Homo-oligomer: A and B are copies of this chain.
Amino acid sequence: MGNHNSFREALAQCRQADKTSENQAREYLDRLTKPVGSLGALEDLAAQLSAIQGRVPPAAPSKPALAIFAGDHGVLEEGVTPWPQEVTTQMVLNFLSGGAAVNSLAKSAGASVVVVDVGVASIIDWTGVGDGDNEPRFIDAKVRPGTGNLASGPAMTIEEAEQALSVGASLACEMIADGADLLLTGDMGIGNTSPSAALIAAITGKSAHEVTGRGTGIDDDHLERKVAAIEAGLARANPSGINGVDGVARLLAELGGIEIAAIAGYIVGGASLGVPVVMDGVISNAAGLVAVAAKPEILDFLIAGHRSTEPGASAAIEYFGLSPVIDLNLRLGEGTGACLAVPVIQASARVMSEMATFDSAGVTDKT
């Protein structure tokens, strides 16, 4: 995690996916024994995997890997959530001992899990946690202990933002070197739907009101304070010139959070090595917007694993022009929605490689 230039290096290596393979994939899909387009979004996924891999049909990803980035948020001062900050640490320990929703869903998806402290406010004492089999793995890569309050000042320095971006980018590259062929994003951070909404508003141009929701479930008073905090942050940061590496570092420094920056870097790291990245919910969607603002070609490697109930998630997914794989009203984060998408993504590649064509099966096409 030591190289603070990892993000810039990874970003420089990002290229567009292979559009020729994507077109060949679409032609091939139309020759399979089914009415044209009848597998719906499954065909889009298969064509995207073809473009990413540069081959038709694509191979089904067989080694999904999830990184959960954790951080805390100074915006809690504004009273945006009823959950106390210590829950971030408690949930990190819950991940490490295997008791969280994401542990079960990652297991079902066959995904390895790594938990990364990039910005938790307290020092995480994880000695004795877990069953000793090193799964999930824990990485201490703390950039700083929590962000500043985005409503009243910068969340972090530009250097800290770049450091967090590089933690994510270098971890992604390391995971791919270890064999991962499908990266899943995950997050933990009490209050982190606030910086996510702020980033989504800044990048999509929507208002704070339009993209701010109830997170994991807050009441009207909390929601009002949350919208006000995000509006204050946007007014203060006055985001403009948010594209390119300097633009996104500046934006993240203003609005945070540390784990969102790390996820953005992780997405860039995956794309730089030609590996698809499955976004989880609204926090990951915000990070995806940041990554695409840094370099638009990165969009070719992004899959919307699910649609969170948070309005900012729909705003981001619409901005990307993507369709969510899973749409089950989840609003938990952690990577849970990304994990649920894995079998569908794998099936999209398998069905394309295993089906017969009209010619080979002797089936009459429509007149």
- Contact residues of A with B, CB < 8 Å? 32-42, 81-84, 86-87, 90-91, 93-94, 97-101, 103-105, 107-109, 216-217, 309, 323, 325-332, 336, 339-340, 343-344, 346-347, 350-351, 354-356, 360-364, 366-367
Contacts of A216 in B (CB 8 A): 34-35, 38
Q: Do A84 and B344 touch (CB < 8 A)?
A: no
Contacts of A339 in B (CB 8 A): 347
Q: A324's closest neighbor in chain B, by CB? A: B327
Q: How far is the CA of A329 from the CA of B32 in the complex (A)?
A: 18
Q: Do A346 and B83 touch (CB < 8 A)?
A: no
Given A40-B330, A340-B344, A343-B344, 12 further pairs, Cβ under 8 A: A32-B101, A34-B216, A35-B217, A35-B331, A42-B330, A82-B366, A83-B364, A90-B362, A94-B363, A103-B355, A326-B344, A340-B343
Q: A357's closest neighbor in chain B, by CB? A: B99
Nearest CB of chain B from residue A347's CB, rounded to whole Å: 4
For this chain, the copies found in one complex come to 2
Nearest CB of chain B from residue A359's CB, rounded to whole Å: 11
Q: What are 11 A-to-B residue pairs whose CB atoms are below 8 Å?
A: A32-B101, A33-B101, A35-B331, A41-B330, A83-B367, A90-B363, A93-B362, A104-B354, A104-B355, A327-B327, A340-B344
Contacts of A36 in B (CB 8 A): 217
Q: A332's closest neighbor in chain B, by CB? A: B38
Contacts of A98 in B (CB 8 A): 354
Q: A60's closest neighbor in chain B, by CB? A: B108
